[in-house]
């Protein structure tokens, strides 16, 4: 599916991930892209990487043209403190546009009020979108059409896995996949440290740890087996793995991860309020 003209407000890492993925997958032509950059440095990055896109430093250019005039999709891909003034700007006319926000903690009701309509989508992405392995969830307001949903799924699907959820589930999504990469980086670092403690060179231990996490995740995704079953398959009676599992259980690793997810979800709700 080819997406129509799109305006991206922002231009940081997540915006670059989305746009890069869409362009790579052929769902967006760079000539159909307008970027409203928050800084000169951000603007230079976009001009260097995508010279065919249109750059603007604000909602309205020096010639009086609005950044949203030619777009059918507006992506709000900046921090909440930048998004809110954009929504409040009377020159930022989003009438008739599909508005997609990746601003954490900004509810659909706030985005709808600022846009002046309810054709609004809220997205919770994560940073592995930068390498095409993202896990994104989205929820929709009441005026979103089936075509709008197809557009959103094409956008997010170009940078990884995508699922539609109700808005009240987005805080839980934040706890699992939004914050989740940090948990996994910690696990990879700890596995590598263990390898070094056991006698491996640092780079070898790190490479083995990262590939092991990647391989295990691929097994869960591609086999459809419950992770508990896959874990049991590795644990031979009286073997090395079951000895290691006993240590993990004694140190409450499972409980710590569950608590981390639920605390991140709670914090997400606190920030939203």
pLDDT digits (tens, 9 = 90+) for 53-112: 988 876 655 544 677 888 999 999 888 777 778 888 777 788 889 999 998 888 999 999
Percentage of residues in the chain with pLDDT exceeding 90?
Answer: 68
Provide the pLDDT for residue 12.
86
Smallest CA-to-CA distance from 77 within 14, 5, 160, 2 is with 14
Q: Are 167 and 139 within 8 A, CB to CB? A: yes
Smallest CA-to-CA distance from 174 within 84, 97, 271, 94 is with 271
Cα 252 to Cα 167: distance, rounded to the nearest angstrom: 31
Q: How many CA atoms lie within 13 A of 203 on its CB side?
A: 0
Structure tokens at 173: 């999504």
224 phi and psi angles, rounded to 5 deg: 75, 5
Q: Is the pLDDT of residue 121 over 80?
A: yes
Q: Are 93 and 68 within 8 A, CB to CB? A: yes
Residue 35, classed as helix, strand or coil, is strand
Q: Are 49 and 72 within 8 A, CB to CB? A: no
Q: What is the dihedral of CA 221, 223, 228, 231, to 10 degrees?
A: -100
Percentage of residues in the chain with pLDDT exceeding 70?
Answer: 97
Could you tell me which residues come within 8 angstroms of residue 47 by beta carbon, excluding any fewer than 6 positions away?
53, 55
- Kindly report which listed range (25-29, 169-173, 245-249) carries the lowest average pLDDT score: 25-29
Token pair 């799924």 is at which residue?
153
Provide the pLDDT for residue 64.
47
Rg of the chain over Cα atoms, rounded to whole angstroms, equals 21
Smallest CA-to-CA distance from 162 within 211, 128, 115, 187 is with 128
- What does each C-alpha distance from 12 to 42, 69, 127 come to in angstroms? 7, 22, 11
Question: What does the mean pLDDT of the chain come to?
Answer: 91
Provide the pLDDT for residue 260.
97
- If you ran DSSP here, which 8-state letter would residue 192 be given? H
């Amino acid at each position: 599916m080819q997406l129509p003209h799109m305006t991206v407000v922002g231009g940081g890492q997540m915006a670059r991930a989305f746009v890069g993925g869409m362009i790579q997958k052929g769902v967006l032509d760079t000539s159909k892209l307008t970027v409203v950059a928050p800084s000169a440095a951000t603007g230079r990055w976009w001009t260097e990487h995508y010279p065919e896109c249109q750059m603007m430093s604000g909602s309205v250019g020096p010639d009086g043209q609005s950044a949203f005039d030619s777009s059918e999709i507006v992506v709000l891909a900046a921090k909440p403190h930048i998004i809110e003034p954009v929504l409040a700007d009377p020159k930022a006319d989003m009438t008739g546009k599909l508005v997609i926000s990746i601003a954490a903690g900004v509810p659909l009701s706030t985005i709808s009020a600022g846009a002046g309509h309810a054709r609004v989508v809220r997205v919770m992405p994560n940073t592995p979108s930068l390498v095409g392995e993202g896990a994104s969830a989205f929820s929709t307001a009441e005026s979103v059409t089936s075509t709008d949903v197809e557009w959103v799924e094409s956008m997010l699907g170009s940078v990884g896995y995508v699922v539609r959820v109700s808005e009240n589930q987005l805080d839980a999504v934040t706890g699992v996949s939004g914050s989740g990469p940090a948990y996994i980086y910690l696990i990879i670092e700890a596995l590598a440290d263990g390898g070094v403690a056991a006698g491996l060179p640092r780079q070898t231990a790190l490479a083995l740890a990262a590939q092991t996490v990647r391989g295990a995740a691929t097994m869960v995704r591609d086999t459809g087996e419950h992770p508990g079953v896959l874990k049991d398959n590795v644990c031979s009676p009286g073997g090395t793995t079951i000895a290691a599992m006993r240590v993990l259980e004694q140190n409450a690793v499972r409980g710590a991860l569950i608590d981390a997810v639920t605390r991140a979800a709670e914090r997400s709700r606190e920030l939203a309020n």
